[in-house]
Every structure is written in structure tokens, then in C-alpha cells.
Amino acid sequence: MTNILESVAHLFKTLVDNQPEPPINVGEVMDLWKYLAYIEEAIVLEQIGRNTTTDADLLKLLDEAVAICSSQSERIKKVMEVAGIPIPASPGDKPRSEAGAVPMGAKMNDDEIANILAAKLLLVSKECCRSMMEAVRSDIGLMWANLLYEQAKFGAILKEKMRERGWLKSPPPYHPPGVPRQ
């Protein structure tokens, strides 16, 4: 069975087989700018979370999230540079600190950190999907598919850990009228 990335890549290749790529358009530029802003903001939040938790599992997840976002940021910057798109200033990294040195009123708890991480992941995944579907250039569409695949893999791991630790926030179950409850 092929994975989703291979399927999407095959789809794009069949649609534009040996066609020259058009110039990047303003919509694609805006998508690159927004996504870059979102993931660089996510890096800052992940670094802050890393500085305020002592939970080994959450630290590992945060380190992985920083690595994914940093890698994606560099790839997007490279695309922007090649296309001649000015790269916006980034917020910069947060220095490492000891979780115990941060006052209780100034730091998030593990549940909050995990849910903020999940919320950011949801935002960037939705942006990847939308940008992939709206991309005119096949290389840009494939890039979005790849970024989405990376985020989805991480999201599956994050959701499982959140469920395991009781951090996953979910609405109450829905019981339609007239259906027996079990």
C-alpha cells in the first residue's frame, strides 16, 4: 500500500507532466508568508513550553515539534529566496531556562502546553491543506503535501500521548434522541 505522500505526489505529477512551472503567484506568496509566521510563532511557544515543564514525555514532544518547525521554516525560506520573495524578520529563539526557576504564575502547566501545541498543529495543518489545494505550481503543491505529511505524523503521536496522559480535551458524547444508551 502506498503512503499518502506518494499518492499526492503521483496526482500532481499526472496533472502537470512535463509542463513548465508558471511564475509563483501572489496567493502562493501570501500562503508562504502566513505559514512561515505561524510556524515561527509555534517555535517560540514550543521553546517556552520546553522551559516550563519537567515532564520527560512532553519535553521530547516539544523538542520534536521545534525540530519539525525549524526544518520547515528553513525549507520555506529557501523557496522564498529562490523566488525572490523578501523573507520577514523572525521572532528569534528563546534561551533555555530551568523550569523550576520560572514562577508558578508565569508558567503553563503540562496540560496547557500540550493543548496549545495541539491547537497550533491544527492551525498549520489546515493551512497546509488549503495551500496545497490552491497551489497553481505543482512544486509548491508538493511542498505543501510534504509539510502536511510531517505535521500529520507528529499529530498522531501527540494525540496518542495526550489521550494517554488525560490532556486531550474532547466534547461530551452525543446521544441522538431515541437511541438506547449503552
pLDDT per position as a tens digit, 40-61: 999 999 999 999 999 999 999 9
75, pLDDT greater than 80: yes
| Average pLDDT along the chain | 90
User: Mean pLDDT across the stretch 72-76?
Assistant: 97
Q: How far apart are the first and last CA of the chain?
A: 36
Does the residue 45 lie in any domain?
no
Q: How many domains, in total, are found in the chain? A: 1
**9 lies in some domain:** no
pLDDT at 85: 95
Kindly state the average pLDDT of the residues 97-108: 86
Q: For residue 12, what pLDDT band results from cuts at 50, 70 and 90?
A: low
Give burial (CB, 10 Å; 0-12/13-18/19+) of 85.
Answer: middle
- Whether 14 is in a domain gets the answer no
169 near 36, Cβ under 8 Å?
no
Give the containing element (helix H, strand E) for 34.
helix 26-52
**Residue 16 within a domain:** no
Residue range of the domain that includes 117: 26-38+52-87+107-169
pLDDT score for 6: 74
Query: Per-residue pLDDT averaged across 1-13, rounded?
Result: 67
Write the DSSP string, 61-121: HHHHHHHHHHHHHHHHHHHHHHHTPPPPPP--PPPP--GGGS-GGGS--HHHHHHHHHHHH
What is the separation of C-alpha 5 from the centre of its chain, rounded to a whole number of angstroms? 16
In this predicted structure, the answer to whether residue 30 has a pLDDT above a threshold of 90 is yes
132 contacts 141 by C-beta, under 8 angstroms: yes
- Rounded to an integer, the average pLDDT of 122-129 is 96
118 is a domain residue: yes
CATH number for the domain that contains residue 157: 1.20.1260.10
**The pLDDT of residue 15:** 58
